[in-house]
């Protein structure tokens, strides 16, 4: 079985799903085991959708404040980032980028 990262569970969509699953468990409509299976499917689906369906590209410019590489995961903190998309520019005070190995175990 392929291992997927649980990065997107802290996104707005992931948090809404988690809250909904908690409510369903508390109401006795589903079991905790089913909720865990749903979250696992969410991890697979969001990862596959981002890998296969998103075609947008962006250029990021800013000041690298912090970077870290631990357990095959890169984490970057960028101050004053400027995201340049095809038809839009977006700025922020700070952004955290987490990058994981896209290769599946056994792939070269």
CATH number among 3.40.50.360, 2.30.18.10, 3.40.50.300, 2.40.110.10, domain 59-100: 2.30.18.10
pTM of the predicted protein model: 0.69
Task: Write the CATH number of the domain with boundaries 7-52.
Answer: 1.10.287.190
What is the location of CATH 2.30.18.10 in the chain? 59-100
The mean per-residue pLDDT over the stretch 72-98 comes to 94
- Whether 1 has a pLDDT exceeding 50, the answer reads no
What is the location of CATH 1.10.287.190 in the chain? 7-52
The mean per-residue pLDDT over the stretch 18-26 comes to 97
Task: Please work out, in degrees rounded to the nearest 5, the angle formed at the alpha carbon of residue 87 by the alpha carbons of 82 and 93.
Answer: 20
The mean per-residue pLDDT over the stretch 77-95 comes to 95
Residue length of the chain: 108
Q: Which residues contact 51 (CB under 8 A, 6 or more apart)?
A: 102
Structure tokens at 67: 């970077």
**pLDDT score, position 106:** 58
Please tell me the distance from the alpha carbon of residue 66 to that of residue 96, in angstroms, as a whole number: 9
The residue with greater pLDDT, 72 or 105, is: 72
- Whether 29 has a pLDDT exceeding 90, the answer reads yes
């Amino acid at each position: 079985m392929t291992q997927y990262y649980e990065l997107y569970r802290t996104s707005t969509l992931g948090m809404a799903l988690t809250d909904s699953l908690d409510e369903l468990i508390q109401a006795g409509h589903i079991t905790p085991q089913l909720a865990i299976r749903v979250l696992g499917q969410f991890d697979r689906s969001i990862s596959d959708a981002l890998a296969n369906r998103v075609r947008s590209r962006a250029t990021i410019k800013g000041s690298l404040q912090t970077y870290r590489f631990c357990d095959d995961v890169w984490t970057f903190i960028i101050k004053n980032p400027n995201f340049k998309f095809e038809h839009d520019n977006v700025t922020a005070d700070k952004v955290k980028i987490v990058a994981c190995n896209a290769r599946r175990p056994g792939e070269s």
